[in-house]
Chain A
Amino acid sequence: MIDFSALLAAVHLLFGSWEPWLVVIPGLLIGLLFHAVPGLTTSMAIALFLPVIPYMSFLSALVFMTAMYTGSLFGVAIPAILLNIPGSPAAVATTFDGFPLAQKGRHDEALGYALAASIAGQALSYVLLLLLVEPVAKVVIKLGPPEMAILSLWGLTLIAGLRGKRFFRGLLAGLLGLLLGTIGFSARGAIRGTMGIDVLLDGIPVIPAIIGLFAAAELFNLATAEYIVEDIGARRVSLRRILYGVTKTFGYPAALIRGALVGAAIGTVPGGHAVANLLSYSEAKRTAKDSSMFGRGDPRGVIAAEAGNGSSEGGSMATLLALGIPTGGATAIMLTAFDMHNITGGPQFMSDHKDIVYAVILANLIQVALLFFVGLAFVFAASYVVKIPLRMLIGMVISLSVIGSYLLTGNMSGPVALCVFSVIGWVLQRFEYPVAATVVGLLLARLTEGAMLRTYQMSGGDPLYLLERPVALILLALLVTSFAAPFLGRKLRQLKRPVTHA
């Protein structure tokens, strides 16, 4: 599984020079900062620093970019927990339990859970990558549209789990999000639902819409509160509480490990990074013995979501290095660094530059350890947000999000989407339609439709085509099992319970 001679060469490469280590901490900080500000993205951060890439060695360039990626994976959780604003789709599930924890005055603890889970998830995925990068490459190349369609459906089943108190309202909200997410050009060139507005041809801008649905709607409701945390005693910034959250994370091994494994697997698939946190959260909720606190401040929700998000990095790197296929915006820009040094990722790269591959993996394991210290300091500073009066915070946060939305889309469609969806989000919340379900539908609509369409085209409409795709059948079996397992488990426990006679 491990080529030890290449591993030794990697150690020599990494520790034979100071250059790779000079860029790690700046990379982590840039990644953290960019995703802690709503509207800024990892892709922007990496693109911004592309001009310096040719002046670095290839290894230093990769270490710098992966450090930014590592920092950003945790950075997105900070506004998600403190302000209910997911820094990217990768932190949507973190808001479900992170913000309720913050409102209860447990913001430090929640940030501690997120930090520890993100680090543990990333570390686990890189250890798996070290052991399994070649076999993983062989499996990933077999993944196609049918497998993506099943993964997307798996993500959509999360909607059923987010129903809140009202079952049918939850499903209706999710389907509304799904329909809204398909507005615009279809893959076949049909124009749906644009009402003649040109900017809608590319669809509704998803991240501004999500910020509007979640954050702006919530902030309207907070208009009469004084602070995010009402209790003055709870409105403190405590390093001790953050560290408490970090250590308590390991008291939930099931949520942590399951979330990390799901995220690592999903991260290997193009587009999977955005749904890794959702699927990890969904599985944690579905398999929990008592899921009544999910959505109301259950630490397992934050831990599973962040472990899944963090571990998706290792999966993404496996696909990038082994196949030369980017799985998202950040890895696509990393490929540019490959081009700048006249290197192409893929099987040839794996066989010719195995020492660099192992060096990147080892460097990432060390980055993850450094993230603990850098992240802790960052989180300690970020926690002061709860001390700012809401009447100041609301305007500043919303205007930051509006400007960020403009930067994301490059035109006014971002701010307008944020504004419109903030009103929609408030109305949905008011009448007890779970906004989270609408967000999940919105996020997964394009991915699901595209995968279903390509599957239909490949199969010619023949459902028996799935029998020719063993990986798809395995995923379908896993989907059905994960769905049925809690019900079957309950039935088995009921059957095993001894019958008592009066």
Chain B
Amino acid sequence: MPISWKPLALGRRTTPGGEPGANFPEKENVVTWGRVEFVSAKRRISVDVPHLLVLSCIVGFCLWYLNDARSASDDIQNLLLIEPAAVLALIFAALVVPEIIVVSRTQSPPARFEREPIRPGKGMKIAGSMVALGVYVSLMGSIGFDVATALYVFGSLLVLGERRPLVLTVVPIAFTAVTIYGFKTIVPIPLPLFFG
């Protein structure tokens, strides 16, 4: 039986019949980016690839952690909670698979893996926020909490669309000064700072 492989491109909208580009009411629009379909004469297999990757990571972690805990010690007292929890997690992961890999008849409408679409602008802001946080945490130990915080607040304002020069200068500096000074006064734990 010939099987065709039909990957849908990122962001393409589909009709229930699987044909791209059709018009229908806004509330029914479902963007199913990353969906891959295998179609034969009788069967259609729809796979939600991004979700499958996430589930694979969760399953991979559970297996790795169980193995690591067993190698540390296979005494029941070490595995009392970990082993049952890991086994149950694997069982439930198997039960989630039918939601990700959907087998249907070729004539049936393709599976709808519904997620709210991320518009390109929003995606950039979300990704930018994550990257900014990662850079902030990586640098704060080396350049000091004060400089890193001011740069992070500045960067965050920029990523999220603030363009007023006064706000971009005053807010990061004022916030950093108040926060760092406040924490220094209240809490006896020293913070690594560039100034002082």
Chain A residues with a Cβ under 8 A of chain B: 40, 44, 48, 166, 168-169, 171-172, 175-176, 178-179, 182-183, 186, 188, 190-193, 216, 219-221, 223-224, 390-392, 394-396, 398-400, 402-403, 406-407, 410, 412, 415-416, 418-419, 422-423, 426-427, 430-432, 445, 448-449, 452-453, 456-457, 461
Contact = CB atoms under 8 A, between A and B. Distances in A.
A398 B157 contact: no
A457 B115 contact: no
A415 B77 CA distance: 32
Nearest to A450: B81
B133 A179 contact: no
Interface string B32-76: 000000000000000000110010001001100100110011011
Contact of B126 (A40, A48, A220): A220
B153 interface: yes
A216 B132 CA distance: 12
A220 B129 CA distance: 6
Contacts of A431: 50-51, 54, 115
Given A391-B157, A431-B51, A40 B96 contact: no
B181 interface: no
B183 A186 contact: no
> Which of B77, B161, B167, B191 has the largest count of A CB atoms less than 10 A from its CB?
B77
B85 A406 contact: no
Nearest to B57: A427
B184 to A, nearest CB: 11
Contact of B134 (A175, A186, A419): A419
26 contacts: A169-B96, A171-B88, A175-B85, A175-B89, A179-B85, A179-B89, A186-B72, A186-B73, A190-B73, A190-B78, A192-B68, A220-B129, A223-B128, A391-B160, A392-B162, A395-B153, A395-B155, A395-B157, A399-B175, A403-B145, A403-B180, A403-B183, A406-B191, A416-B137, A453-B77, A456-B80
Nearest to A194: B68
A15 to B, nearest CB: 33
B95 A168 contact: yes
B89 A406 contact: no
B77 A457 contact: yes
A422 B133 CA distance: 9
Interface in B108-161: 115, 121-122, 125-126, 128-130, 133-134, 136-137, 140-141, 145, 149, 152-153, 155-157, 159-161
A224 B122 CA distance: 6
A166 B61 contact: no
Interface of B: 50-51, 54, 58, 61-62, 65, 68-69, 72-73, 75-78, 80-82, 85-86, 88-89, 92-93, 95-96, 99, 115, 121-122, 125-126, 128-130, 133-134, 136-137, 140-141, 145, 149, 152-153, 155-157, 159-162, 167, 171, 175, 179-180, 183, 186-189, 191
Given A178-B85, A220-B126, A391-B161, 18 more contacts: A166-B96, A168-B96, A171-B92, A179-B65, A179-B86, A186-B78, A190-B72, A193-B68, A223-B128, A394-B129, A395-B155, A398-B152, A407-B191, A410-B189, A412-B141, A415-B140, A449-B82, A452-B80
A160 to B, nearest CB: 11
Contact of B157 (A392, A430, A445): A392
Interface of B is mostly: helix
B156 to A, nearest CB: 3
A26 B157 CA distance: 36
Contacts of B81: 178, 182, 445, 448-449, 452
Nearest to B114: A432
Nearest to A418: B137
Contacts, number: 169
A399 B68 contact: no
Contacts of A223: 122, 125-126, 128-129, 159-160
Contact of A172 (B58, B153, B189): B58
Given A216-B133, A395-B153, A422-B130, A48 B187 contact: yes
Interface of A is mostly: helix
A192 B137 contact: no
Central interface residue in B145, B152, B183, B188, by most chain A CB within 10 Å: B183
Of the candidates B134, B149, B156, the one having the most CB atoms from chain A within 10 angstroms of its own CB is B156
Nearest to B80: A452
Contacts of B51: 431
B126 A192 contact: no
Nearest to B154: A395
Nearest to B155: A395
B133 A419 contact: yes
Contacts of A416: 137
A103 to B, nearest CB: 15
A180 B116 CA distance: 28
A220 B156 CA distance: 11
A191 B125 CA distance: 39
Contacts of B130: 220, 422-423, 426
A403 B136 CA distance: 11
Contact of A182 (B54, B82, B129): B82
B152 A192 contact: no
B82 to A, nearest CB: 6
Contacts of B129: 219-220, 223, 394
Nearest to A221: B126
Contacts of A457: 77
B152 A188 contact: no
By Cβ-Cβ distance, the 5 closest A-B pairs, closest first, are A395-B156, A391-B160, A223-B125, A175-B89, A190-B73
Given A220-B130, A391-B162, A403 B61 contact: no
Contacts of B65: 179, 183, 192-193
Nearest to A415: B137
Contacts of A453: 77, 80
A166 B130 CA distance: 27
A221 B116 CA distance: 12
Given A192-B69, A392-B171, A426-B126, A179 B187 contact: no
B179 A400 contact: yes
Contacts of A390: 160
